[in-house]
């Protein structure tokens, strides 16, 4: 039986290793028949991603902090594939010393860097996709956020603020891309042990607290997050626009 993403081509941005949420999304979408186009920031990450993907998979360099790099990447993808059906934006970064302590200690440069890579990059990517007429109609853009956008999570500071801005960006992009048939949504994933989470001071305590607050006492999995992403990329979700979908087993409401 054909999968819900058969014949669809989807860009996945943000795979660092096999524990990445982006990787979980890519795996779930591939299982539903999608062709995955992976982007990587630099040669170091290319080596890491190359160890995961098949030789026939497509890899394109793209540094979302650099507009020229985004333009070059999307130009390459346009030449190779013509159009694509979706983009998964799973990119975020903040300096480690901007996460802990008091938000009053946040520097102007550190705050701006977190906003640029974790929030503005979604707008930059959507803008380039629009300029290149890269997305089909209908198409889907999905980004990744976290509960720290709403609550003051310890040791999350500037990233929590950046995620709040990211969620606002989803709503404005959904409004402006909607006429072209492009829907934009975010997945608010529960805390799982990714490279990003291990960079948070006290991440073990955060993971334990999150697991204890789930409805069934078990942490959410990469597969569960990935399956939600596959749904949002499919034509089954054409009525879901500008939303934040929680995949945290109820942590946000308990």
Per-residue pLDDT tens for 82-108?
999 999 999 999 999 999 899 999 999
- Of the residues 38, 40, 146, 246, only one is catalytic, namely 146
- Is residue 141 included in any domain, yes or no? yes
Distance (Å) of CA 111 to CA 104, 116, 119, 227: 11, 9, 11, 32
CA nearest neighbour of 74 among 138, 127, 23, 120: 127
**Residue 249 marked in a binding site:** no
**Residue 63 marked in a binding site:** yes
pLDDT at residue 198 is higher than 60? no
Q: What's residue 57's pLDDT? A: 67
- Is residue 253 included in any domain, yes or no? no
**Residue 91 marked in a binding site:** yes
- Is residue 57 included in any domain, yes or no? yes
- Is residue 4 included in any domain, yes or no? no
Find the DSSP H helices in 108-248: 108-115, 121-131, 157-177, 195-198, 203-213, 222-233
Per-residue pLDDT tens for 136-183?
999 999 999 999 899 998 889 999 999 999 999 999 999 999 999 999
- Is residue 155 included in any domain, yes or no? yes
**Residue 195 marked in a binding site:** yes
**Residue 196 marked in a binding site:** yes
- Is residue 1 included in any domain, yes or no? no
Q: What's residue 101's pLDDT? A: 92
How much is the pTM?
A: 0.93
**Residue 33 marked in a binding site:** no
Angle, in degrees to the nearest 10, between helices 222-233 and 21-31: 60
- Is residue 254 included in any domain, yes or no? no
Q: Are 25 and 99 in contact (CB under 8 A)?
A: no
Which of 129-133, 148-152, 206-210, 240-244 is the least confident region?
206-210
- Domain limits at 71? 9-247
Active site residue 146: yes
DSSP string computed for 179-191: GGTEEEEEEEEPP
Q: What's residue 219's pLDDT? A: 86
* Sign, CA torsion 133/135/138/141: negative
Instruction: For residue 250, name the pLDDT band (cuts at 50, 70, 90).
Output: confident
Q: What's residue 218's pLDDT? A: 84
Average pLDDT of the segment spanning 203-211: 65
Total of domains in the chain: 1
Determine the Cα–Cα distance for residues 192 and 84; give it in Å rounded to an integer.
29
- Of the residues 38, 156, 172, 246, only one is catalytic, namely 156
Active site residue 111: no
pLDDT at residue 195 is higher than 60? no
17: CATH: 3.40.50.720
Mention every residue, 6+ apart, whose C-beta is less than 8 A from residue 8: 29, 33, 34, 35, 85, 86, 233, 234
Per-residue pLDDT tens for 28-44?
999 999 999 999 999 98
- Is residue 117 included in any domain, yes or no? yes
pLDDT at residue 203 is higher than 70? no
**Residue 41 marked in a binding site:** yes
């Amino acid at each position: 039986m054909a999968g819900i993403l058969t014949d669809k081509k989807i860009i996945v941005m943000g795979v660092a290793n096999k524990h990445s949420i982006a990787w979980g999304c890519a795996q779930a979408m591939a299982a539903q028949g999608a062709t995955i186009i992976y982007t990587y920031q630099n040669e170091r990450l290319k080596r890491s991603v190359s160890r995961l993907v098949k030789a026939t998979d497509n890899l394109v360099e793209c540094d979302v902090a650099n507009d020229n790099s985004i333009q070059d990447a999307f130009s390459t993808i346009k030449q190779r594939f013509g159009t694509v059906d979706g983009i998964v934006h799973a990119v975020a970064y903040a300096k480690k010393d901007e996460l802990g302590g008091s938000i009053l200690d946040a520097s102007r440069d550190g705050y701006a860097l977190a906003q640029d890579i974790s929030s503005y990059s979604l707008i930059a990517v959507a803008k380039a996709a629009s300029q290149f007429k890269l997305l089909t109609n209908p198409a889907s853009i999905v980004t990744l956020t976290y509960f720290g956008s709403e609550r003051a999570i310890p040791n999350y500071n500037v990233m929590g603020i950046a995620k709040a801005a990211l969620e606002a960006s989803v709503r404005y992009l959904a409004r402006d891309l909607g006429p072209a048939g492009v829907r934009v949504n975010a997945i608010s994933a529960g805390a799982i042990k990714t490279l990003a989470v291990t960079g948070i001071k006290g991440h073990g305590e955060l993971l334990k607290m999150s697991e204890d607050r789930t409805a069934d006492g078990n942490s959410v999995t990469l597969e569960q997050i990935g399956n939600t992403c596959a749904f949002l990329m499919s034509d089954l979700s054409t009525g879901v626009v500008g939303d934040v979908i929680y995949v945290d087993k109820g942590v946000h409401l308990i």
